[in-house]
């Protein structure tokens, strides 16, 4: 039974998809860090890069709200930002489930990955990994747009904040 479980869901296609997901998520995490650094050029880069993904998202939200509230007529919409950050947290947790999760065998024979920290599960298989990778890529592009807003916000407020 164990041999069957290790062969069936964990195919070469699964591992290829897992590698693509890991690569795309690293790019997403990098663009979030760049958004943070674009808002405030005085921040310590090493600290930003060491923060976890969720810490980066919380810092980005806090910094953006703080900086934007001081700029009259800024076009950033808080609701859209909250939605983007909530989606990023959700996708980050799915990614953590896939990367750090443990295999869980269901009585009917299905296999999933379980996130012991947050309790979520994710299906095993290359199609499931590819679907999550597509979510990550979409978020990446949304954060690229957010980075442009960060640069504009910084320029509107001046090069540095006190």
Asked if the model's pLDDT at residue 159 lies above 50, the reply is no
% of the chain beyond a pLDDT of 90: 35
Residue 129 included in any domain: yes
Model pLDDT for residues 68-78, shown as the tens digit of each residue: 666 655 555 56
User: Distances from the Cα of 160 to the Cαs of 37, 38, 119, 151, in angstroms?
Assistant: 11, 10, 41, 12
Residue 113 included in any domain: yes
Residue 66 included in any domain: yes
* Residue 35: domain span: 2-157
Look up residue 146 and give its DSSP letter: H
User: What is the overall mean pLDDT for the chain?
Assistant: 82
Residue 162 included in any domain: no
pTM of the model: 0.81
The reported pLDDT for the residue numbered 69 is 63
Residue 57 included in any domain: yes
Domain count, the chain: 1
> Do 88 and 139 contact (CB within 8 A), yes or no?
yes
Cβ of 152: how many Cβ atoms within 10 Å? 15
Model pLDDT for residues 79-114, shown as the tens digit of each residue: 677 789 999 999 999 999 999 888 888 787 778 899
């Amino acid at each position: 039974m164990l041999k069957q479980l290790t062969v069936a869901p964990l195919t070469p296609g699964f591992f290829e998809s897992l590698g693509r997901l890991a690569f795309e998520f690293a790019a997403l995490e990098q663009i979030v860090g760049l958004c943070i650094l674009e808002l405030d050029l005085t921040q310590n880069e090493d600290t930003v890069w060491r923060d976890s993904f969720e810490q980066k998202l919380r810092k980005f939200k806090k910094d953006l709200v703080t900086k934007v509230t001081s700029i009259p007529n800024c076009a950033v919409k808080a609701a859209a930002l909250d939605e983007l950050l909530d989606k990023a947290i959700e996708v980050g947790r799915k990614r953590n489930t896939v990367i750090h999760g443990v295999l869980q065998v269901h009585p009917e024979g299905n296999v999933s990955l379980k996130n012991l920290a947050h309790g979520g599960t994710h299906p095993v298989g290359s199609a499931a990994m590819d679907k999550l990778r597509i979510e990550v890529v979409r978020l990446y592009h949304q954060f690229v747009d957010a980075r442009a807003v960060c640069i504009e916000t910084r320029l509107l407020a001046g090069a540095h904040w006190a």
